Amino acid sequence: MITRLDPNKIVQLLTQSTRQIDTATLSALADARRSALTKQSVHSPVFALTTGRWMLNLIPHSTQQWVATGLLAAMLVFGTGYWQHAKEQQISDLDVAILTDELPIETLLTDSHRT
């Protein structure tokens, strides 16, 4: 059986419980909370919305982000170059085959164009 908890009732119970704790303990808890919050490291997001305007913060901040960005850029450059070279090679091989009569021009036509 699943029991549904009422958030308002939980807030009331927590408020009543804090009223029963002495002031020295409450002060120590507040100091511990402030101390924990100051020690917590905050990382800036890669994409950020600031002051209601769209602001893209795309500049990497750490060495790992710089390395990952460099590797991605290198992969894109080399991949595009390889793809372009392979495409040119395929076209030139096809041109040579047509010009040397090793490949009949009819093979390039689709079935609907054949007689």
Q: How does residue 58 score in pLDDT terms, banded at 50, 70 and 90? A: low
Element of type H or E holding 56: strand 53-56
pLDDT 10s digits, 59-112: 656 788 888 889 999 999 999 999 999 888 888 887 877 777 676 667 766 555
- At 75 the pLDDT is 95
Nearest to 46 by CA among 58, 54, 38: 58
* Nearby residues of 101 by Cβ (< 8 Å), 6 or more positions away: none
For the CA atoms of 88, 93, 99, 100, the dihedral, rounded to the nearest 10 degrees, stands at 160
pLDDT 10s digits, 19-54: 888 888 888 988 998 888 888 776 655 555 555 444
pLDDT 10s digits, 2-22: 778 888 888 888 888 888 888
Q: Which amino acid is at 99?
A: L
Integer-rounded Cα Rg, in Å, for the chain is 34
